Amino acid sequence: MTSHRKTDIAARFDAAHDYEQAAFIQKQCARMLAGRICQSHLLHPPRRILEFGCGTGLLSRELVTAFPQAELHLTDLAPAMLDRVRRTLAPLPATVHLYVMDGEHPQPQDETGGGFDLITSSLCLQWFEDRAGAFRDLVALLRPGGRLMVSTLLADSLHEWQESCEAAAIPCGVPDYPTLTQLQQDWPPGGHGQWDACPLHDPTPSAQHFLKGLRMIGASLPKNGHQPTLGLRRAMRHFDSHFDHVTYQAAFGAFQKGH
């Protein structure tokens, strides 16, 4: 059953009508992940692909272009996001299927094909509560030799805003992102996976601009248990006097299922 938090996440992304205007880091990650996917599949292009958390289709467009002969299942928790993908990819090739799915509890449609050669997602995993369980279920959907290739955020992301909240002596709502070690430990048995990190800098002229950008991309939901607090303006003033960007620590993971 969809939890209250999952419902809230879907609602915020449904309402993110200007997502791509503010999705600077999301676009970078999608391009970087697409490059890694293409490099890994030079000799054997994937025939069946599942993307979870497809959003407005930043990675989806790269996949459709790179693998025009593949059957693609593009899924997201937020129905409105799928409508945006449908418009940006119109006219849709017959081999592209769009439907609502929770990537943390994957239930793909039409499993008569016998599994996927590639399962992928860009900047969706950070919303999962049980990452290890999701990896186990996703890898189970791969064919032998298939790959799970994803990107997510690491601990110390948005440290500029965290420092500003600390200076203002207020709680910070930035989620507790994992370390590379934690991500590596989450891989399931039955294959081999690895992670690498890359810092990405998002220029922002002010704290107000930064916070508005989070709302525009639907990513303003704070970590569990965080409550709005007085003192936010103190944190914003500290940010404005010390920073002109925020840093995202991006992690790229690739897992290949054993034969």
Residue 103 confidence (pLDDT): 96
Omega of the bond leading into 91 within 30 degrees of 0 (cis): yes
How far is the C-alpha of 141 from the C-alpha of 118, rounded, in Å? 9
Per-residue model confidence as pLDDT tens digits over 74-111: 999 999 999 999 988 888 777 899 999 999 999 998 76
**What residues does each domain of the chain span?**
4-154+178-197+250-257
The Cα 174–Cα 196 span in angstroms is 22
Which of 51-65, 101-115, 139-153 shows the lowest mean pLDDT across its residues?
101-115
In the chain, at which residue ranges do the beta strands (DSSP E only) sit?
Answer: 48-51, 71-76, 96-100, 116-122, 142-153, 191-203, 245-257
Q: Which two tokens stand for residue 254?
A: 């690739």
d(CA 209, CA 215): 10
pTM of the predicted structure, to 2 decimals:
0.91
Is 1's pLDDT higher than 50?
A: no
CATH superfamily of 4-154+178-197+250-257: Vaccinia Virus protein VP39 (3.40.50.150)
The torsion angles phi and psi of 135, rounded to 5 degrees, stand at: -60, -45
pLDDT digits (tens, 9 = 90+) for 230-241: 789 999 999 999
Q: Are 75 and 98 in contact (CB under 8 A)?
A: yes
